[in-house]
Structure 1
Amino acid sequence: MNKTDRLLAIVLELQARRAVRAEDLAALFETSVRTIYRDIQALSEAGVPIIGTTGRGYSLVEGYFLPPIRFTIEEAVTLLIGTEFIEQQFDEEYRHRARLARKKIEVTLSDRVRDETSRVHQSLRLLAPGKRSDSSSEKENLNNIRRAILDRKKIRFGYTKKTSPAAESAYSKRTVDPYGLVLVEGSWMLVARCDLRQGIRHFRLSRMEELTELEEPFEYPDDFDLKEYVPSDDRFLTVTLRFNPSLADKVKQSNFPYIEEMNEHPDGLDTLLRARQPDDLLQWVLGWGAGVVVLEPESFRQRVREEACKILERY
C-alpha cells in the first residue's frame, strides 16, 4: 500500500472507531509505529482534525466526516456485485434497496470509471453462488482471466476434463477468447470462444493450469450478452425419483442443479431430473441411501443396483 492510500485508510479507520492506538494502526497496515506517527503528522498538516490522547490513541474531532470520495474501478465493481447478490438472494424489500444503492453508486462515478466498471461488471455473472471454493489455483486463474477480459486479450491454458468418475481424464491445450466468468455452486466457470472447438465452450477454472495471457487481441461479439446467455441444452437423460416424505425438505434445500420438477404428495416427493449422462446423477442419488427409489428409467435403476452391489461387496 502506498502512502496516499494508507493516509486515506487511516482516516477511514479513525472515522469508524472512537480511538485507535498507533500500535494497532501499524499492525493493521503492516508498517512501523514511527511511520504511523509521520502519517498522523501529515494528515494534521493537511487539515484533518486528529486528537491524540495518552493511553487511548488517536481520534477525529467530533463532527468531522470525510467528504465523498471517488471509487476505483475495482471498488465500484465490488460494490455492484454485492448489490447484484442481494437482488438475487434476499426478499423484495432488500432487492428494492439494492437497486437504489446501485443507482447511487453509479452516479458517483466519473464517465471513464463508469464505462470501465460497466465492462468489467458485464463480464461477471452469479448463478447459485453456493459455498466458496478455497482452491488457490482457481483464485489465481480468476485474477488472471479478469485481467485478460479487461485487456481484451486471448488466453492459453492446459485443461483437464473428466466426462465421468469412471473415465480417464482427457488433457488438452486451449486458446480462447474469454467472454465472461460465471459463479455456479461455488465454482467459477469461464465462458469463452474456443479456437480448438470453433465455438463457445465452458471451462472450470479449477481444472486449468499454466494459464497465460497472450498478446493477441480478440473482438467481443456485439450480439453476445453474458447476462442473457443461455447455453445449449444437451441433457437428454430423464430420471424420475421418489423420496421418502421425511426427506422432502432436505431435497428441496439441496439446490441440486439437475432438478427440473418436484411434486409432493402423501407417498413422498417425486422429483424429475435431467442430465447428460448417468454419472452426473449416480453419486447424488446413492447419497440418499434407502430414502429414495428410482421410478424410471429401468436402465438407471439397474445402474443404481450395480453400484449398490459393489458397495455391498466391499463390506
Structure 2
Amino acid sequence: MTDARYAQYESLLRLLIMLEGRSDGIGIADIEQVAGIQRRAAERMRDVLLRALPQLEEVREGASKRWRLEAPVLNRSLAPTLEDLAALNRAVAVLRASGDAGTADCLSTLSDRLRAALERRARPSFEIDLEALLEADGVVHRPGPREALDAEVVGRLREAILCGCWVELDLQTADSGRMSWRNRVGPIAFLLGEGRQYLVGFSDYRQQVQLFRLARLRGVRVLSEAYERPEGFDLSRWLARSFGTWRDEPHQIEWRFASHVAAEVRQFRFHPDQRLTDEADGSVTVRFTACGLDEMCWHLFRWGDTVRVVAPKALRERYEDMLAAAGAALDDS
C-alpha cells in the first residue's frame, strides 16, 4: 500500500506520464480516477500541474476541458548523462575483454539508442567528453592475456540460460585432446574474467553441478526440453567454496604477508569469507576456507617473497613443487 505522505506525489507523476503519452491530454475525470479524489480536490491538483507546467495547452471538448503537452518534458528530464553512458561503455569494454561478446554487443546497441535520444546540438561535445572519460578510465586499453571464445557457442549458451533449456555439448578433453560428444548439461551461468572462462552447468551424466571450460567447447545444441536448477542450489554459495574456479576438497588456508605489503594486502579481497589478523611485527595473516590449490599457487607467485604459506601443508608442498618446476625450466633454457 502506498504511504499516504507520498500518494499525492505518486499521482502527480502518473498524471505527468499520462500527459506525455496521450495526444489528447487529460481532463478532470482522469485526475479523479488516477488520484482517487473528488472533483474539488481534482481541480486543485490540476492547478498544481498548471503552475508546474505553464506550457500546458487548454483544449475544449464541448462543455468540458482537457489539458495537453505539445512538447515532452519527462523524456528530456530522463535523458542519459555523461556518467551514464561512460558507465555503459565501460561495461561494454570489460565484457568484451572478458570474452562475453554477446552481452557486450547488446549493451553497445543500447548505448547507441541512448545517444540517439540526446538533443542533436548536444551530441558533438558529448561524444568528445565521453571519449576522454573512457580513455582516462583505462578500460578500453586494458592489457593482459585472455582466451579467445567462439561467439556462436557463447551465444547459444546464453540463449539456453535465458530460456531455461537443456543443451548438448561437444567438448575436447583437457588430458588427451579427444572429443566427448553429446554431453547433456543444464546451463546455469558464465564465469568470465581474467584467465580461463567457464560455464557453470548441471551434468546429467554425473548428476552434479560442475564447470565446463568454454574454450574447449566445439559445439552446442539447444534442446527443447526445459531445465530446472537443483532444488536449493545457490550459485554464490557454491562459488564461495573455491579460490578461483578449481573445485576439490576445501582446505583451511593461512597466509602470512610481510609488514611492508600489509597496507596493500588489506585492500585485497582474496576470498568472500576471508579473515585478516594484524600481527605484532606488522605482518598480516589471511585465513579462509576454500579449494583450488593450484590457482592459489598461481596467485601467490605475484606476491614473490612477501608471502609465506603457513597452512595447509598440501598447499605449501604444491607451491614448492611449482617453484622448483619454474626454476628447472629456467635452467633448461
- TM (norm. structure 2) is 0.44
Higher strand residue share: 1
- TM (norm. structure 1) is 0.46
Higher helix residue share: 2
Larger Rg computed on CA atoms: 2
